[in-house]
Structure 1
């Protein structure tokens, strides 16, 4: 493992955080943690149980009752997420989950529970953690902090290609609207709103390939080490 550094990568939906963070973790020999998948897993469980997504008490109780784990995928080198022992890595990427996850993620009790789990995962260092509030709340003492952003249309385009390749039938304009609505929800929520940490480096990757973003971040990490 390349030292015991922690790297925090934040940003809005569709900015490429997962792909970038996963590649950086692989290149540096660190552990990749996708915190967004944790909220997606909780949303998946809530929908399966047909719970009221506007009932904060019920969602908080659910968050405190489930077990979320990450395991390494020996084929891809990335992480797989387990919900109560079941691999839900593919299920949490369903568009239906994307439409509802912000409602679940804005609940204070849910966020506090998830933050504690995430902090325990990074307590010994050596992780690349990506999400919405990593640099500000979860890992405020992270060695490196980056905030990825891109235009809503570019993020929708990337998401469109991803979903089409997975066999989903989606509408591009609907994706643009959903991303804008999610941006608004994430950035205006009362608890842990989406915003860059004061000491985070902001990277606008609208015109950058994800590989270019990876190489840029790696250069910044090596420069400061």
Structure 2
């Protein structure tokens, strides 16, 4: 079996795994791929087709027939990559609140995850990549030479999200925000599967810069130079 030249980062929503993944990929010259965008793109397709996100059979059928594309940025508007759905640029559409509310339900169906995991694995086996998600190290790419699980408490994630919203000029109900994050964790619990050999990092006690430096120190020497 070929060993993927990949680094996997798993963790709960809002843990900073996407920021870590993007920074790590940039430092190493790897491709950065947040698998969550695939589930968001599927959820957008489901909602646009008036499919009930809780209907696993219908959502899986939708996943089978749509074409989700992930490529380098095609527009200089702050995006990390361009996401297409059947050829249409949906990079920002998948961040809509309606998608945010439904993605855990749509993505939670076992048949749906089987379909998208196969696509994710194909991407991960192609070359040097930092792949971020919920179950990448445990299920999608268990052979990856370095697997990270980044955990951050609900309280700390609430604090960070609150600061972000206040910084944008939005009002914040911290109790409601805490409950929202806790509820998201509960919905995601059945797909949150840390790999048994993953390196666990507590993001509460380290800054993003310190976390990046630590993970870089774990990267096998052979992965630092690549074609």
Give TM-score scaled by structure 2 length: 0.87
Would the aligned equivalents of 1:33 and 1:128 in 2 still touch at CA under 8 Å? yes
Matched with 1:156 is 158
Residues 173 and 211 of structure 1, relative CA distance in 2, 3 Å threshold = same
Matched with 2:131 is 129
Matched with 1:114 is 116
Which of residues 213, 216, 219 in structure 2 aligns to 1:215?
213
Paired residues in the alignment total: 218
Residues 224 and 150 of structure 1, relative CA distance in 2, 3 Å threshold = farther
User: What is the deviation of 1:107?
Assistant: 0.5
Matched with 2:60 is 60
Question: In structure 1, how many angstroms separate the alpha carbons of the residues matched to 2:113 and 2:23?
Answer: 26
Would the aligned equivalents of 1:148 and 1:205 in 2 still touch at CA under 8 Å? yes
Matched with 2:23 is 23
Q: Deviations over 1:138-180 (max 9, x none)?
A: 0010110000011112213333444566676654332221211
After superposing the two structures, state which structure 1 stretch, 139-148 or 118-127, moved more: 118-127
Matched with 1:82 is 84
Which of residues 82, 102, 105 in structure 2 aligns to 1:103?
105
Give TM-score scaled by structure 1 length: 0.88
Question: In structure 2, how many angstroms separate the alpha carbons of the residues matched to 1:92 and 1:163?
Answer: 19
User: What is the deviation of 1:11?
Assistant: 0.3
Any unmatched runs of 5+ in structure 2?
A: none
Would the aligned equivalents of 1:99 and 1:178 in 2 still touch at CA under 8 Å? no
